[in-house]
Structure 1
Amino acid sequence: MFDLNSNSDLLLQCKAVTADEPDLIANLANISAIIFDGMADINWAGFYFARKPDELVLGPFQGKVACVRIPFGKGVCGTAAAEKQLQHVDDVHQFSGHIACDAASNSEVVAPIIVNGEVVAVLDIDSPSVARFSKEDAQQIGLIADYCAQLDWTQL
């Protein structure tokens, strides 16, 4: 359900825009813009940074105003961080503990970004459509998160 470009084109665009830029925040801002502009039928794309103790804090994103802090284990983002596992949710209203930052969001994919065995952030993509994301979409979002793990996280 990506636009005309294939899923891998988004990853290639992310790699191209970050290739010669060392600044983490600038890179994540551009990656969220690439995803937001490159995927059809989404209403939010961005990052939450892991902070101690076990809390996510809003980072670069595209979309409406968002929740600023999410505890590990709460909602889709917090679950992805706590479990260190990609979360692919067809209907967030059926997800136990869902946090409704935007009532218009109905499906979500969240991929943890893991560096040296620790979650440093999550990549969160929301859609107003139920079951918007295919298995392939979720896999590609996971690959983008894996790429993000290769950026310089020592800056945070």
Structure 2
Amino acid sequence: MTSRTGQCHCGAVKFEVTLAEGFSTIRRCTCSYCRMRGAVVASAAMGSIRFTRGEESLTSYRFNTGTAQHFFCSRCGIYTHHQRRSNPHLYGVNVACLDGVSPFDFAEVPVVDGVNHPSDTGQATRRVGTLRFDPAVEER
């Protein structure tokens, strides 16, 4: 288990989270909302996020079936986490909000098919690609 602290951009929302499987669950999604948001997320069990400041500053957004609930800071607009549609007992936590972590720390991020969502198809979550980050070597 990996415990981390995190916050939104302005610091109004601060939290502690336990990632039961560390960063082995990182992913991106192709659904319309995630595609526009562009965040890399890691999984956390329901109840594993503890807000140390500003939970009242969070607002949420739901679309389509209304099952998934996406949370973001009402001051700076940064997405912190969401309750998953595919498993409402799990959160997806924005790794960019975790202290000392960047989405660019991961050379490869699995991309899952959110357009053909498992809740709609009855099939297992399907990996449709890999997002790769290859840091440029500084030329001298």
**Shorter-chain-normalised TM-score: which range?**
under 0.3
With normalisation by structure 2, the TM-score equals: 0.27
Q: Which has the higher helix share?
A: 1
Select the structure that is richer in strand.
Answer: 2
TM-score of the two chains, using structure 1 as the length reference: 0.25
